[in-house]
Chain A
Amino acid sequence: MTPVTWWSLGLTLAVLASLVQTPQPLVFLVVLAFAGMVSLGQPRLRRSSVRIYGGTALFVLVVRVAFRFVFNVPATSQVAVSLPVIQFQIFANQVTLLGPVSSPNLIAGVTDGLRLAAIILAVGFAASVANPRSLIKSAPAVLYEFATATTIALNVAPQLISSLNRVRRARVLRGGTSGLASLRGVIIPVLEDTIQRSLDLAASMDSRGFGRRGAMRLRVVYSARAAAGIGVMLFGTASYLLLASAYSVFIGLLTFALGLVCIAVSARLAGMHRVRTRLITAYPKAGDWLVRLLCLSLVLVTAVDNYGPARQVLEWRP
Chain B
Amino acid sequence: MISLSQVSFRFQAGGRAALKDVTLKYSAGEFALIAGATGAGKSTLLRAMNGLAPHFTGGNLTGSIAIDGRDLTGREPHEFAHLVGYVNQLAEASFVADTVREELAFGMEQLGVAPASMVARIDKIAAALDLTEVLDSPLDELSGGFQQRVAIAGALAAGQQILLLDEPTSELDQAGAESLLALLENLAHRSGVTVIMAEHRVDRLIGRVDSLTVVDSSGEVSKHSDAETFEAAAASAGLMPATAFQELYIRPPKVADSDPVLVASGVSVNYNGSKAVENLNLKIYKGTVTGVYGPNGSGKSSLLWALQGETNCEGSIEFRDDAGTLTHLSKNLKERLREVAMVPQSASDLLLMHSVAEELQDSDHFAAATDGSTASLLEKLVGKIDYSLHPRDLSSGQQLALALAIQLSKGSRVLLLDEPTRGLDYQARNALAQQIKTLAESGHAILVASHDLEFLLGVTSSCIALENGMAIKAGPTAAVLA
Contact = CB atoms under 8 A, between A and B. Distances in A.
A210 B110 contact: yes
A209 B107 contact: yes
Given A207-B81, A280-B115, A170 B349 contact: yes
A232 B466 CA distance: 66
A149 to B, nearest CB: 10
Interface string B94-121: 1111100110011111111111001100
The secondary-structure label for the interface of chain B is helix
A277 B117 CA distance: 11
A200 B406 contact: no
A155 B98 contact: yes
B194 to A, nearest CB: 16
Contacts of B82: 209
Given A206-B52, A207-B50, A279-B105, A152 B96 contact: yes
Interface string B50-72: 10100110000000000000000
Interface string B321-348: 0000000000001100100011110101
Given A170-B350, A207-B50, A209-B82, A159 B56 contact: no
Interface in A117-163: 133, 137, 148, 151-152, 154-155, 158-159
Contact of A203 (B88, B105, B110, B154): B88
Given A175-B410, A207-B81, A200 B90 contact: yes
B224 interface: no
Contacts of B97: 151, 155
B86 interface: yes
B411 interface: no
A251 to B, nearest CB: 42
A151 B96 CA distance: 7
Contact of A175 (B50, B85, B333): B333
A210 B86 CA distance: 13
A204 interface: yes
A185 interface: yes
Contacts of B155: 207-208
A221 to B, nearest CB: 19
Contacts of B151: 204
Contact of B407 (A151, A173, A205, A280): A173
A275 B105 contact: no
B78 A201 contact: no
Given A202-B56, A277-B112, 7 more contacts: A166-B346, A171-B352, A209-B82, A211-B76, A277-B109, A278-B115, A281-B101
6 contacts: A155-B96, A159-B92, A174-B352, A206-B56, A207-B155, A277-B114
Contact of A158 (B105, B140, B305, B352): B140
Given A158-B140, A211-B78, A278 B109 contact: yes
Interface in A186-209: 188-189, 192, 197, 200-209
Given A159-B140, A174-B350, A207-B81, A277 B96 contact: no
B53 to A, nearest CB: 10
A279 B140 contact: no
A165 to B, nearest CB: 10
The 6 closest A-B CB pairs, nearest first, are: A209-B81, A204-B94, A209-B110, A170-B349, A208-B107, A279-B105
B366 interface: yes
B421 interface: no
Contacts of B392: 192
Contacts of A189: 348-349, 351-352
Contacts of B349: 166-167, 169-170, 189
B94 A201 contact: yes
B106 A208 contact: yes
A47 interface: no
B96 A174 contact: no
B111 A279 contact: no
B93 interface: yes
Nearest to B102: A279
B334 to A, nearest CB: 7
Interface in B146-183: 151, 154-155
A151 B78 contact: no
A51 interface: no
A207 B350 contact: no
A280 B407 CA distance: 53
Contacts, number: 151
- Taking residues whose C-beta sits less than 8 angstroms from the other chain, chain A's interface range is 35 or more
Contacts of A212: 78, 110-112
A219 interface: no
B350 A173 contact: yes
- Taking residues whose C-beta sits less than 8 angstroms from the other chain, chain B's interface range is 35 or more
A169 B346 CA distance: 11
Contacts of A197: 93
B241 interface: no
B308 interface: yes
Contact of A277 (B78, B85, B118): B118
- Residue of A133, A152, A206 with most partner-chain B CB within 10 A: A206
A175 B409 CA distance: 12
B88 A204 contact: yes
B344 A151 contact: no
Nearest to A198: B93
B140 A155 contact: yes
A210 B105 CA distance: 12
B344 A173 contact: yes
A152 B93 CA distance: 10
A166 B85 contact: no
A207 B310 CA distance: 43
A185 B352 contact: yes
A200 B139 CA distance: 17
A148 B97 CA distance: 8
Contacts of A181: none
A168 B460 CA distance: 30
A285 interface: no
A268 interface: no
B112 A174 contact: no
A180 interface: no
A173 B352 CA distance: 12
Contacts of B98: 133, 151, 154-155
- Residue of B50, B101, B110 with most partner-chain A CB within 10 A: B110
Nearest to B122: A279
A304 to B, nearest CB: 39
A158 B138 CA distance: 12
A86 interface: no
Contacts of A172: 333
Nearest to A136: B98
Contacts of A311: none
A152 B95 CA distance: 8
A317 interface: no
A238 to B, nearest CB: 36
